[in-house]
Amino acid sequence: MNDIAHYINGSALSGDSSRTQPVYDPATGETEKNVVLGSAADVDTAVAAAKAAWPAWSKTPALRRARVLDRFKSILWERADELAGILASEHGKTHEDALGEVTRGLEVVEFATSAPSFLKGDFSENVGTGVDSHNIRQSLGVCVGITPFNFPAMVPMWMFPVSLACGNTFILKPSERVPSASLKMAEWLTEAGLPDGVFNVVQGDKEAVDALLNHRDVKAISFVGSTPIAKYIYTTGTSNGKRVQALGGAKNHAIIMPDADLDMAANALMGAAYGSAGERCMAISVAVPVTDAVADALIEKLIPKIEALRIGPTGDSDSDMGPLVTAQHRDRVSGYIDAGEAEGAKVVIDGRGFKQDKQGFENGYYLGGTLLDNVTADMSVWKDEIFGPVLAVVRRNSYQEALDLVHSHDFANGTAIFTRDGDTARAFSQDVEVGMIGINVPIPVPMAFHSFGGWKASIFGDHSMHGMEGVRFYTRIKTTTTRWPDGQRSDAEFVMPTLG
Ligand code: NAD
């Protein structure tokens, strides 16, 4: 059995812990690897390496830091296929989808290469007579990223490229379910010329996370994962005096207005609900058609599309959707369909009976696409984040009723509206209390030079990720006010200068 371990101070390290956990290939249900679950001693080793590397890295000119990231970006372009293969084999997403993930991560690296520009300070001349004032942004020190299973490369790349570009050193604690991509990125950063200790990986679970949360030399923590853990990370980290940004769970609604292009909406919902088997924080898991007539017409369009979904192994180029990440998660999602049915939802298409008959993949963690109609706001399938290929239809009779439904949910990560009416779309984007909005766009993930983050229970902390919000999170501002005493401004002297 192959053990996946840490990457500290520029090389792989097996570490101090004897605890391990299996890593599965969700497509086959088999395991050939274990991940080492790091101890507090492993965290100490990584923090010491990152702390030692910080003074030199933070003083390296931003232009040179950016050049290292630029070389890393070139490696990512050239070897995107290799990284996508690693992602797909541990997560279960299709290879094409994994390539999309690498591209979205790479775009943040691209943004980070503009560090000399975004780190430029402000200067005010004559804030008082003969007094000037300027601001600079300086790095924080050792920063930490704790990431979820569903984007093993992209979510870490929401964090570390900007953090490194700003002059920090970094420790990544990836999800123990998908540990390998982090090591590949660490190797490639070293190959790109990143000095040892600037980027480190500690594998692990709660033990490693707690050691990072309590380590006095850790200055900032970026977290992405479920809401209960996000709350815990935020509360513990901030009470230990650290800067924390913690992005949590989601339940994203798409409102379909009576004037919407229904073919466009149905196609968009297919990708947004079932792409990556629904394991995306920006997946649309609730469709809110306005009027019963729209609901009936939409469902009629969705049924044949869901029945035609090609569910297969990650490597098959003809798969639309792969397996779920673990057998336990597949059973949890299936349990939600049971609960929805018991609570009175109509199971229009039932993914529970899906059997994968491709040879060698019969034991993978597959589940069919599921459509639930007549879902109401008191059902667990509406209240909870399911994180699987399940689309719930909640019928509403007016725009206002649909908006109220969106507002009544605790999560506020993303939302979309499908309409041809500019006035409705404009009112929606202005009034809705959600962080990321799509107008006829189902998964409105902001580009790298904008920032990613939800509202309400989908985020804890003041800064969302990447773009200028990332720069603000990973730097602290310093303001210098300067006055000079009267200097020597006399004319040139031609006699031999003497001191005193
Ligand atoms: P998770 O919360 O189980 O795990 C996230 C990280 O927290 C992992 O690194 C894990 O090791 C660590 N962790 C888990 N339990 C812990 C504990 N008790 N104490 C300390 N650390 C712990 O999330 P997941 O299942 O890996 O990922 C799916 C979740 O992530 C979903 O809720 C999804 O919405 C969310 N997510 C949110 C965004 C966003 O941008 N808002 C993006 C991607 C995923």
Tokens of 238: 């901030």
Q: 411-412 and 455-456: which strand pairing?
A: antiparallel
Q: How far is the CA of 18 from the centre of ligand 1 (A)?
A: 24
Of 154, 172, 212, 229, best ligand 1 pocket probe by most atoms within 8 Å of the beta carbon: 229
CB-defined site of ligand 1, < 6 Å: 146-151, 155, 173, 175-176, 205-206, 209, 224-226, 229, 247-250, 281, 385, 387, 413, 454, 458
Of 21, 87, 172, 209, best ligand 1 pocket probe by most atoms within 8 Å of the beta carbon: 209
User: What pLDDT does residue 493 have?
Assistant: 76
Q: What is the mean pLDDT of residues 47-63?
A: 98
Q: How far is the CA of 223 from the centre of ligand 1 (A)?
A: 8
Residue whose Cα lies nearest atom 30 of ligand 1: it is: 225
- Structural domain includes residue 485: no
Catalytic annotation, residues: 281
Beta bridge partners of 284: 252
Of 128, 197, 147, which Cα lies nearest the Cα of 483? 128
pLDDT band at 413 (very low <50, low <70, confident <90, very high): very high
* Residues in contact with 245: Cβ distance below 8 Å, sequence separation at least 6, in sequence order: 221, 222, 223, 453, 459, 460, 461, 462, 463, 464, 465, 473
User: What pLDDT does residue 316 have?
Assistant: 77
**Structure confidence by residue, pLDDT tens digits, 444-459:** 999 999 999 999 999 9
Tokens of 499: 């001191």
Question: Would you call 347 helix, strand, or coil by DSSP?
Answer: strand
- Structural domain includes residue 317: yes
- Structural domain includes residue 261: yes
Task: Determine contact, residues 281/275, Cβ cutoff 8 Å.
Answer: no
Helix axes 62-78, 80-91, angle to 10 degrees: 70
Same domain assignment for residues 266 and 129: no
Same domain assignment for residues 191 and 235: yes
Q: What is the overall mean pLDDT for the chain?
A: 96
Q: How far is the CA of 211 from the centre of ligand 1 (A)?
A: 17
User: What pLDDT does residue 367 have?
Assistant: 98
What range does the domain containing 311 cover?
252-439
**CATH code for the domain in which residue 71 is found:** 3.40.605.10
Same domain assignment for residues 277 and 149: no
pLDDT band at 233 (very low <50, low <70, confident <90, very high): very high
Helix axes 262-274, 292-307, angle to 10 degrees: 50
Number of domains in the chain: 2
Residue whose Cα lies nearest atom 42 of ligand 1: it is: 281
Same domain assignment for residues 303 and 365: yes
Task: Determine contact, residues 91/41, Cβ cutoff 8 Å.
Answer: no
Atom of ligand 1 nearest to the CA of 250: 34
- CA–CA separation, 255 and 294 (whole Å): 11
- Structural domain includes residue 489: no
- Structural domain includes residue 412: yes
Same domain assignment for residues 424 and 474: no
User: What pLDDT does residue 406 have?
Assistant: 98
Q: How far is the CA of 248 from the centre of ligand 1 (A)?
A: 7
Same domain assignment for residues 79 and 162: yes
Same domain assignment for residues 313 and 369: yes
346 has pLDDT over 90: yes
Atom of ligand 1 nearest to the CA of 454: 41
The residue type found at 352 is R
- CA–CA separation, 111 and 79 (whole Å): 19
- Structural domain includes residue 178: yes
Which 8-state DSSP code applies to residue 267?
A: H
Of 434, 486, 478, which Cα lies nearest the Cα of 455? 434
Give 480-494 as a DSSP string.
EEEE------PPP--
- Structural domain includes residue 270: yes
Alpha helices, H only, 60-204: 62-78, 80-91, 95-112, 115-118, 154-165, 180-191
**CATH code for the domain in which residue 268 is found:** 3.40.309.10
500 has pLDDT over 60: no
Q: 346-349 and 370-373: which strand pairing?
A: antiparallel
User: What pLDDT does residue 315 have?
Assistant: 78
Of 465, 386, 469, 467, which Cα lies nearest the Cα of 146? 465
Same domain assignment for residues 217 and 194: yes
Residue whose Cα lies nearest atom 9 of ligand 1: it is: 175
Task: Determine contact, residues 297/400, Cβ cutoff 8 Å.
Answer: no
Same domain assignment for residues 105 and 72: yes
pLDDT band at 497 (very low <50, low <70, confident <90, very high): confident
User: What pLDDT does residue 29 have?
Assistant: 96
Beta bridge partners of 393: 287
Same domain assignment for residues 328 and 465: no
User: What pLDDT does residue 12 have?
Assistant: 96
Atom of ligand 1 nearest to the CA of 413: 41
User: What pLDDT does residue 439 have?
Assistant: 98
Atom of ligand 1 nearest to the CA of 146: 9
**Structure confidence by residue, pLDDT tens digits, 132-191:** 999 999 999 999 999 999 999 999 999 999 999 999 999 999 999 999 999 999 999 999
Q: What angle do CA 10, 11, 12 make, to 5 degrees?
A: 145
Q: How far is the CA of 209 from the centre of ligand 1 (A)?
A: 12
Cβ-based burial of 99 (10 A; exposed 0-12, middle 13-18, buried ≥19): middle
Same domain assignment for residues 358 and 373: yes
Which 8-state DSSP code applies to residue 437?
A: E
Which 8-state DSSP code applies to residue 204?
A: -
Residue whose Cα lies nearest atom 18 of ligand 1: it is: 206
**Structure confidence by residue, pLDDT tens digits, 81-103:** 999 999 999 999 999 999 999 99
Residue whose Cα lies nearest atom 19 of ligand 1: it is: 206
CA 295, 443, 406, 370 torsion: positive or negative? positive
Atom of ligand 1 nearest to the CA of 227: 32
Question: Would you call 430 helix, strand, or coil by DSSP?
Answer: helix
pLDDT band at 474 (very low <50, low <70, confident <90, very high): very high
User: What pLDDT does residue 499 have?
Assistant: 65
Which 8-state DSSP code applies to residue 9?
A: T
Q: How far is the CA of 48 from the centre of ligand 1 (A)?
A: 26
Residue whose Cα lies nearest atom 24 of ligand 1: it is: 148
113 has pLDDT over 70: yes
- Structural domain includes residue 497: no
Q: What angle do CA 306, 248, 434 make, to 5 degrees?
A: 75
Q: What is the mean pLDDT of residues 118-145?
A: 97
* Neighbouring C-alpha atoms within 13 Å toward the C-beta of 155: 27
Alpha helices, H only, 275-421: 292-307, 327-343, 380-383, 399-408
- CA–CA separation, 392 and 370 (whole Å): 8
Same domain assignment for residues 217 and 363: no
Q: First CA to last CA across the chain, in angstroms?
A: 78
* Neighbouring C-alpha atoms within 13 Å toward the C-beta of 128: 5
Q: How far is the CA of 229 from the centre of ligand 1 (A)?
A: 7
Cβ-based burial of 407 (10 A; exposed 0-12, middle 13-18, buried ≥19): middle
